[in-house]
Amino acid sequence: MEEQLQLLAQLAAVDAELDELHDELGDLPAEVKKIEKVVRAKQDAVDTTKAAIDELNQLRSTAHVTMQESHDKEQKLAQQQFQVKNNREFDAITKEIEHLKQERADLDERLRTAGVTEENLTTTLQQQQAELDEVHSKLVDKEKALEVLSGDQNEDLKKFIALRLKIIAKLDDTLEAEYERIRTFHSEAAVALRKNSCSGCYSAIPSQRIMEMKYQRDKLYTCENCGRILFTEDVAVDIEELLEAQG
């Protein structure tokens, strides 16, 4: 058990280093994801507005041809009116001519409205693009900051993760499970006894329990207040020495 307790102390020391590395990143990863979401929304808005402007440009580019075709068709129908043999045919052609005129009037109105709409859309697009550029600039800054921190930490992370795996490989499965269970409540699952108190919650430990911890090392001791695993100060680990020992 004494060897296992030493392994738990080592594991706690390594996890403390890993927790510190993760804390250094702080909220940056979450902030990057949040800004990425905003960028996507802003980009979608820009794309939608651009598509609407493209539709108006397409309308204008085809309107002239449509108007000319309609006018030519009307002229042909007008000539046919002089060749009809009865009122029914004349009325049918007249109705079709009126329909063509109405279509041109509707198209002309759409073009007039399109001009105003495009002006409004262009103003909107400029605002949307400015907002997109601003938030994208923020994203780039955050990503650079995260990249720098992650790069600085990369080697340390690899080193401590590898060391953690080595320790776990030697640790009893039941003890590991208990340690991880406590970690769900306290980041420091195994702590040293300092000044006759639990260094996790600072609760005083009874003298009898302290004596047992010092001289009966065949069992695992926990703090009755916080539930953390306890070990005596002589078991405490110096992380640099541990790294050197592991090579």
Give one word for 186, left, alpha or beta, with left for phi > 0 and alpha for psi -120 to 50. Answer: beta
What is the per-residue pLDDT across 74-100, written as a single tens digit (0 to 9) for each?
Answer: 777 878 777 777 888 888 888 888 888
What pLDDT score was predicted for residue 224? 94
Q: Which residue has the tokens 């690899």?
A: 158
Nearest by Cα to 163 from 4, 24, 21, 17 = 17
Q: Name 15's Cβ contacts closer than 8 Å, sequence gap at least 6.
A: 164, 183, 187, 188, 189
Mean pLDDT score, 198-209: 95
Mean pLDDT of the chain: 87
pLDDT per residue as tens digits for the range 154-199: 778 888 888 999 999 999 999 999 999 999 999 999 999 999 999 9
Structural domains in the chain? Answer: 2-23+169-246 (1.10.287.1490), 25-153 (1.10.287.1490)
Q: For the sheet containing 229-231, what is the strand order?
A: 197-198, 190-194, 229-231, 221-222
pLDDT at 247: 59
Q: Does the structure show a pLDDT above 70 at 31?
A: yes
Q: What is the pLDDT of residue 175?
A: 92
pLDDT digits (tens, 9 = 90+) for 104-150: 887 777 777 777 788 889 999 999 999 999 999 999 998 888 887 77
What is the percent of the chain where pLDDT is above 70? 99
Checking if the pLDDT of 67 tops 80, the result is: no
* 233 close to 193: Cβ distance less than 8 angstroms: yes
> What local confidence, expressed as pLDDT, does residue 246 receive?
66
pLDDT at residue number 126: 95
How many CB atoms within 10 Å of residue 183? 17
Q: Which residue has the higher pLDDT, 234 or 71?
A: 234
> What is the structure's pLDDT at 204?
96
Asked if pLDDT for residue 152 goes beyond 70, the answer is no
